[in-house]
A and B are shown apart, each in its own frame.
Chain A
Amino acid sequence: MTAHFQDVRVAAGGAEGKIEVACQLENTGGEVWSRAAGYAFSYQIFDPVTDTLVGEGARAAPERDVAPGQSAEFHLSVSLPPEAGRYRIFVSPIKEDLAWFYEKGSPFLLIDSTVKDGRASVARHRVVTFGRVRWERLVRSLGRAFWYPWRSLIRHRSLIRSMVGRDIAGRYRGSYGGLFWTVIHPLLMMVTYYFVFGIVLRTRFGNDARPSSFVLYFLAGMLPWLAFSEATGRSAGVIPECRTFVKKLVFPVEILPVNVAVAGLVSEAFGAMIFVGGLVYFGRPFPATMLYLPLLVVPQILFTLGLCWFLAALGVFVRDLGQILGFLLTMWFFITPICYPEASLPAGWLWLFAQNPLCILVRGYRAIFLEAAAPDWGALGKLTAVSATVFLAGHAWFYKLRRSFADLL
């Protein structure tokens, strides 16, 4: 099923909203094109933005049978919808009830056209194969993958701000403690960990035997973990939870995972308050290297966001994800040296544990807050590159799958 286009003539106008197509078609396939077998010449109209089919045209049957190797003249009058907009037209032979030739790899005529004030005009026409069109779509979607995540963050920033505010205020709404809980909650959790690891198991960092230095090392490692684990832990369920936003509201769904990621950062900010309180309490200095913090937070946000997008979309399809994720996060917490010193890890495998993005972050936090040192630039550079990739890939994944959310919830 292939055809060779020759002498292609495309003209807009004539009647309004019509495009006249004429060409010589050579049968380069193995079958005779006959009217009886359902061979015809026709077209499909697509929306160039979403690539969804808008309509199909009438068939122009061959006037006589076209044997393999022979050519015939075909005429087609494409009628576009009267509504203004861009339209992409595929002109191709078809075998009825089987397939369009272009679907089987045959070259076809592609026309990009615009309708304005009820009149059609041709922007471009060319003979291509469907593989080529697919490739162009891929390239275009790659371009989008780089641009769309930023665009949606910028466009919806005020909505994200409001929704995160709601989320945090709403969490404890109606409870007696109110906003107080946002501080109490991480504090209690940290006290629990301190009791288990600092007092019962007597974990110590380095040669420093003071419990106070354990507390500070532990808290510094806990800061990025708090934000990361809270966000990823909630992300799997965020779309089903907000099903009315997906199904019943005109709403930018992609910001729901952003909200949980940002809410995690806010928790980290509260944790940081506790941490600073600890520094003051134990009489530690505030090193100038603390100013490197934004360089750590940026890859942390990108990594968390990308993962949140990925998990949020997956969570719609695999409802068990929430259960699995709880377990995975617990494991992740324990393979990251947060509540124990790195030296406790098997030395031979340390290189592997150091690939863990969270491990790099935890080290960085400790370096800038407690050791008055700059973060490890090499590792941080790699982390930033990985995070940016995760960010873009996570968004692309979410963007691709979001169309079916409403059908599945």
Chain B
Amino acid sequence: MLTVQNVSKMYRLYRRPADRIVEAVSLNRVARHTDFWALQDINQTVARGETLGIVGPNGSGKSTLLGIICGVLEPTRGRVVRQGRVAALLELGAGFNPEFTGRENVYLNGEILGLSRAEVERAMPEIERFAEIGEFLDRPVKTYSSGMYVRLAFSTAINVSPDILAVDEALAVGDAVFANRCVRKFEEIKRRGVTVVFVSHDLSLVKLISDRAIFLLNGRIAAEGEPSDVINRYNGMVLERQKAFAATELELPAGVRPRYRHGDRLAEVSGVELLGRDSRATRVVESGEAVTVRVTARFHADEADPILGIMIRTRIGMDVYGTNTLLEKLPLGPCRAGEAIEVDFQFECWLSPQEYTLTVATQHPDGSSHDWLDEALAFTVVASRFTAGVANLRARTAVRRVERVTT
């Protein structure tokens, strides 16, 4: 069990290091700092076996809060009551000495967490099994890939029987298979009564494993409760910010920030929006949700037969699905200069939970671009069940016993 009471954290910001000395020498009679409240009035109680997810934009105080929860940082006001042993994964491989082997580091890490050598020895087979790094366990940690690093660190932290586990963005480095196993492991340690607090930008992960979530904004709790509600609130804020940002850049459609844009601009994409089930703009989609991609194009020249298309890609750039008005046999033209058209692509988004990007373009019939916006917007697919890969094929699983053993 973990209780956070009225926690606030203030940092003193100095413009120059010398200001700190001036203040110290004058015995705080001269104030040369500005107060910065990184956290204000945070109250939370996390029960035994409960998992709390923390989301929020960069600089909202997530990591500070996690640090205070672990006891690494001191709150300026308020207090944290922890019952039991705290294991923290605040940074990848913190406390690992690169010159030593994985096994030696596991021993030391275990002792840092307050275990005896015998206890670490007992946990070792399970740590080894879960980390699955094979013979690398007996090689120096400096030869590890970052994936191996995180596997070993994570495996150590969860197998030393903590009562409270705090994780900061650590799972992002593992591959999909490992992430999947971590999710299952989370379920298991939850059943063992471990209290888990974790910070993540991976909204689908938050939705998947947390029982409750909080959304931090500027050091305060902006929303708390059901993970999906909290994620929606967070998402709404992200959209507003993107719009505000886009408004400062000319020509770009609201909420759109392409990574790369090219084309002759005889026609221009003036709006891209992803609409959810309720026809409202969203960046988080439930797997299988009926969504609409609405693209608006404005023509600056007469076009006999333009094409408009979309492409969904994964975060690493793999094409997942793409179509256009030509493939859909939906002729747009002819279009006159000054005209604007709006095209809706409606589909049920049966993708597996992860992040995707949307690329949109208007083209000449020969395929050359008027306006091509690479990765114009990003969205996240969430699901209550984890699936590997990109397509959610909704397998129906059945089991039959085909051979019986009678005794």
**Chain A residues packing against B (C-beta within 8 Å):** 47, 50, 52-55, 81, 83, 85, 158-159, 162-163, 166, 170, 173-174, 244-251, 403-404, 406-407
Contacts and interface: CB of A to CB of B under 8 A. Distances in A.
B113 interface: yes
A215 to B, nearest CB: 35
A85 B71 CA distance: 18
A162 B105 CA distance: 11
Interface of B: 3, 5-6, 11, 45, 67, 70-79, 81, 86-88, 90-91, 94-95, 97, 99-100, 104, 107-108, 111-113, 116-117, 140
A244 B94 CA distance: 6
B116 A158 contact: yes
20 contacts: A52-B74, A54-B77, A54-B78, A54-B79, A55-B5, A158-B111, A166-B100, A166-B104, A173-B100, A244-B91, A247-B67, A248-B94, A249-B95, A250-B112, A251-B112, A403-B74, A406-B67, A406-B74, A407-B11, A407-B73
Nearest to A49: B79
B77 A52 contact: yes
B78 A249 contact: no
Contact of A246 (B72, B88, B97, B99): B72
B116 to A, nearest CB: 7
B97 A250 contact: no
Nearest to B87: A250
A250 B72 contact: yes
B309 to A, nearest CB: 46
Most chain B C-beta atoms within 10 Å of own C-beta, residue among A158, A163, A247, A249: A249
A314 to B, nearest CB: 12
Contact of B79 (A50, A244, A245, A248): A50
A129 B73 CA distance: 31
A248 B116 contact: no
B81 A85 contact: yes
B73 A248 contact: no
A154 B99 CA distance: 28
B29 to A, nearest CB: 17
A248 B108 contact: no
Contacts of B107: 162
Nearest to B107: A162
Given A54-B77, A163-B108, A406-B67, A249 B117 contact: no
Contact of B95 (A47, A52, A158, A244): A244
Contact of B6 (A50, A54, A85, A247): A54
Nearest to B95: A249
A173 B81 contact: no
Nearest 8 CB-CB pairings of A with B: A248-B94, A173-B99, A248-B91, A248-B90, A244-B94, A47-B79, A83-B3, A53-B77
